[in-house]
Amino acid sequence: MAKEPPPPEDSDHEYFKSETDRLCFLLIHCEGARRNAMLGIRRVHYADKKKAKRWYKAIALKLHPDKNPDHPKCAEAMHKLNDLYQVMTCL
């Protein structure tokens, strides 16, 4: 399986056709601090469960597979988003 190219440093680059494409790519292929910075996650999201939930809901509404039935990577990205949310709320 061929690896996808790394995302451009500028998150508004024309590389992504839509916001959904950008979010899917970041959740599936990026890790750690870089992913968190590009997704807008700050330390306060880890400390405050209400802010983490608000952030999660905003992203989940954009990525949910029922809202994007033609997008092949939304299900995988949603799974990664759920894992990330679990980490944010368990600390």
* Domains of the chain, each with CATH number or no CATH: 19-90 (1.10.287)
Residue-wise pLDDT for 23-71, tens only, equals: 888 888 888 887 878 787 777 667 778 888 888 899 999 889 899 888 8
pLDDT of res. 45:
67
Q: What contacts 25, CB < 8 A, 6 or more positions away?
A: 4, 7, 16, 73
Location of structure tokens 């999660």: 56
Q: Comparing 5-9, 20-24, 47-51, 77-81, which segment has the lowest mean pLDDT?
A: 5-9
Location of structure tokens 């992203």: 59
Considering only the C-alpha atoms of the chain, give the largest distance between any 2 of them, rounded to a whole number of Å.
39
**3 phi, psi to nearest 5 deg:** -80, 145
